[in-house]
């Protein structure tokens, strides 16, 4: 049996779909199911049971001996939230309970960390365990993810197999519910549909021109392929970057969205919101050497390929993955 937490969310629901495609039907989906706008993400997918996040550990006491692996994807991911207590509860405390439960029931664990842990990149973007203690995230969300990573590395007891995945800028289908936190592609698509143009954040850093801010954008279909690889191959335990290894500009991102809609790019710029301006990453690029050295060689969608697939096969028809 496979457990996916955050299963009604963006990445979690895509993982459930990919597991179904691979013939895995004995899945237990875990989430806060009170948020009904996420219901569509699980429609048409096959699973054995839905378990509320708050009731999961009680459920695990009864059925833990039947679970082979837990994909702990669920988390509070709002980078504009600055109430540390929220992240401590959902991203640190809950994850620590998950780790201990996996040890108790002898369950493999793959959990979601984040590229946000790297902050301004003062120590680079290499997923060496020795670097993690030094990192300086820019917001409570990044702090919570790094706090859990540090806690994990300090543990003597471990699940039989475990991996933490530092997701970089993930985009793709099933993010309809994410509002402000949805990808720039999602917002670009809707702005183009509404008024034929797109507004990007203006640069407030003299080293980057407007729209020239660089991020490692990774397509969600590639993210779930890495999850499948970890489940099937069980490489070396550890924390792994998960990006493409190639930074691209927001201008490229928006332009490719226009191209996928067969429209000429019309792009303007607005000030970065004051509440995130001094916490804004101008460059991220995952060093993917470790995952590659462990045998993952499927490659990743280019930005052009990913945006075209997302826009034409999901956003335009309003479909889910």
**Which pLDDT score is estimated for 207?**
93
**Which pLDDT score is estimated for 137?**
93
Rounded to an integer, what distance in angstroms lies between the CA atom of residue 40 and that of residue 319? 10
85 has pLDDT over 80: no
CATH superfamily membership of 2-172+217-247+284-301:
NAD(P)-binding Rossmann-like Domain (3.40.50.720)
Provide the pLDDT confidence category of residue 82 given band limits of 50, 70 and 90.
low
Q: Which tops the pLDDT comparison, 205 or 79?
A: 205
256 has pLDDT over 70: yes
252 has pLDDT over 70: yes
Provide the pLDDT confidence category of residue 77 given band limits of 50, 70 and 90.
low
Question: What's the sign of the alpha-carbon dihedral 30, 162, 220, 225?
Answer: negative
Cα angle: 276, vertex 278, 281; to 5 degrees: 80
Question: What's the sign of the alpha-carbon dihedral 130, 134, 137, 141?
Answer: positive
**Which pLDDT score is estimated for 255?**
96
* Domain layout of the chain by residue ranges: 2-172+217-247+284-301
Taking alpha carbons only, the member of 281, 286, 288, 242 closest to residue 119 is 281
Whole-number average pLDDT of the chain: 94
For residues 127-133, average pLDDT? 96
**Which pLDDT score is estimated for 79?**
54
Strands (E), the chain: 2-5, 27-31, 49-52, 69-72, 108-114, 162-167, 169-171, 198-201, 214-215, 217-219, 238-242, 248-249, 267-270
For residues 59-80, average pLDDT? 86
**Which pLDDT score is estimated for 25?**
94
At residue 205, the 3 state secondary structure works out as coil
Rounded to an integer, what distance in angstroms lies between the CA atom of residue 274 and that of residue 271? 8
For residues 121-129, average pLDDT? 96
Residue 106 structure tokens:
């002898």
- pLDDT tens digits for 14-47? 999 999 999 999 999 999 999 888 999 999 999 9
215 has pLDDT over 70: yes
- pLDDT tens digits for 156-196? 999 999 999 999 999 999 999 988 889 999 999 999 999 99
Q: Which residues are catalytic?
A: 141, 178
**Residues forming a β-bridge with 31:** 52
Taking alpha carbons only, the member of 204, 170, 200 closest to residue 187 is 200
Rounded to an integer, what distance in angstroms lies between the CA atom of residue 247 and that of residue 121? 13
């Amino acid at each position: 049996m496979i457990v996916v937490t955050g299963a009604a969310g963006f990445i979690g629901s895509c993982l459930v779909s990919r597991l179904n495609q691979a013939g895995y039907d004995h899945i237990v989906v875990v989430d806060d199911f009170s948020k009904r706008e996420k219901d569509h993400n699980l429609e048409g997918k096959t699973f054995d049971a839905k378990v509320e996040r708050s009731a999961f550990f009680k459920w695990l006491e009864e059925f833990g001996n039947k679970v082979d692996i837990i994909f702990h994807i669920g988390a509070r991911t709002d980078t504009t939230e600055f109430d540390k207590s929220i992240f401590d509860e959902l991203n640190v405390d809950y994850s620590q309970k998950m780790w201990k439960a996996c040890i108790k029931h002898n369950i493999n664990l793959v959990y979601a960390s984040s590229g946000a842990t790297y902050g301004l990149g003062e120590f680079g973007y290499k997923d060496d365990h020795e670097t993690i203690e030094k990192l300086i995230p820019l917001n409570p969300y990044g702090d919570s993810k790094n706090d859990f990573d540090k806690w994990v590395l300090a543990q003597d007891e471990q699940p039989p197999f475990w991996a933490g995945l530092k997701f970089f800028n993930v985009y793709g289908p099933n993010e309809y519910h994410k509002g402000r936190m949805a990808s720039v592609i999602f917002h670009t698509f809707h702005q183009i549909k509404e008024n034929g143009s797109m507004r990007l954040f203006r640069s407030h850093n003299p080293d980057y021109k407007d729209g020239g801010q660089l991020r490692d954008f990774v397509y969600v279909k590639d993210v779930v392929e890495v999850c499948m690889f970890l489940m099937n191959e069980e490489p070396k335990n550890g924390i792994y970057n998960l990006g493409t290894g190639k930074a691209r500009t927001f201008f490229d991102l928006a332009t490719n969205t226009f191209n996928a809609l067969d429209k000429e790019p019309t792009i303007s710029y607005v000030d970065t919101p004051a509440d995130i301006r001094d916490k804004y990453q101008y460059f991220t690029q995952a060093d993917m050497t470790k995952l590659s050295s462990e045998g993952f060689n499927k490659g990743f969608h280019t930005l052009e390929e990913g945006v075209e697939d997302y826009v034409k096969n999901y956003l335009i028809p309003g479909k889910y993955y």
